[in-house]
Structures are given as structure tokens and as C-alpha cells.
A = this chain, B = another copy of it.
């Protein structure tokens, strides 16, 4: 539990306590993306800290990408950034010349089922807990390039519906409609041989090489919120990553 006051007797540095308080407000959605937060001076008065301490706390949060600041204007809650997610990883064309298009998708299956042991384990669900299972084909410039299977915990995404998902990107929906922003993810890539039915869906023959990408997406507190397995054909597509 995070307090909403600074504890001057706590061994935790004051600026770190301040960081936690601000994070808490963002998580609770009482401070929403794009919103201007109080000025340094206001916060210094409110929490009885020096401006320098507030500056330090805000610096940490800017660094983490939670806030951004504009001289003369103020400090704002950052929009969750999906620039490093799925979309950006795929580039159309081997030569890498063109920037990526936003991929489309067509939903094949949408159902509520009990999580099997693998999925339950990954999503940290108890036995018998339910998940949404969604299967879709992903396209770039109207050409299918991947088949995807997604698992979402039922309790977090209760009421999500097939039509609303339609041809849309999911992470902004998770964030806006369900207050479940995706903060980071784990991905595992492996070459595989394509399955017959998948080959048909992707309109390729059975000897086409594919990559299987398994992703576990996490929200605040390292809570897993999505598991997806994508089978991607390599023809004209590339997975790109910058290692820093």
C-alpha cells in the first residue's frame, strides 16, 4: 500500500516517496494520460518539500517515461507508448526502406474458456479461472502475414466484445477501456514448420518457413495481462529490434 503523504521519519528518500505517490495516482487513473499535473512550486507546498526534491522526483519519472515536461507549460502524464510493440517490429520489404504500415486484423474465433494449465501458469491464474481466447489473422496491406492466438484473463477484461475489437490495435483498447496499460513484454521467438491448416489461412504452401512469437505482456506491478502466440510467415516480413 502506498500512502498519499510523505513520511519524514521513513528511511526511504523523500524524492522516492514522491515518485511512488505520483505513480500511484497514475495507476489509479486519478491522473490520466495527457493531463497537466501541479507545478513544482505547488507540489513543494502541498507536500512540504523543497522544489529541488520535487524536481528530482519528476526527473526520475521523466526518465521512466511516465511524465514529460515542457518548459513554460508544465509537467504532463505521458501517453503509454506502443512504438516499440508489435507494429514497429515488422517492416514491409526486405530492404527495410519503407516505414511500417499499421497492421490490420480479422477475427476468426472469439470465445470464453477455462484456462488450460499452460495459459493459467503464464497469466498467473488459479485453476478453473476463465480466459478470453481470440484467434485472428493479421494483415499488412491486405496480405495475411500471421495467425495469432490471444489469451486474456476474463476478470480483467470482462465485457470486451468481438465487434469492438474488429480491425483495431488492442493495447490502446486495454488501456482506455479497461485501465490495463501494457508496460512491458517478454517475447520468445522460434523457427517452426508451418501447420497445414495455418498454411491454408495464410495462403502459403506447407514448406514456407515461419517464426513462432510468444509474447507475455505485463501491466504495472509486473502483472501478466495477455499471452499471445503468433505464427508469422517470413516472406517479405522481418522482425526488427534495436539492442541498447
Contact = CB atoms under 8 A, between A and B. Distances in A.
Nearest to A236: B190
Interface string A197-232: 000000000010111000000000000000000001
Nearest to A192: B209
A243 interface: yes
A192 B234 contact: yes
B209 A193 contact: yes
Range for the number of chain A residues in contact with chain B:
20 to 34
A233 interface: yes
24 contacts: A63-B63, A84-B244, A85-B243, A96-B188, A184-B244, A185-B243, A186-B240, A188-B238, A189-B211, A189-B238, A189-B241, A190-B211, A191-B191, A191-B209, A191-B210, A191-B232, A191-B234, A192-B209, A193-B207, A193-B209, A207-B207, A209-B209, A211-B211, A241-B241
Given A209-B209, A211-B211, A189 B244 contact: no
A7 interface: no
Contacts of A192: 191, 209, 234
A90 to B, nearest CB: 11
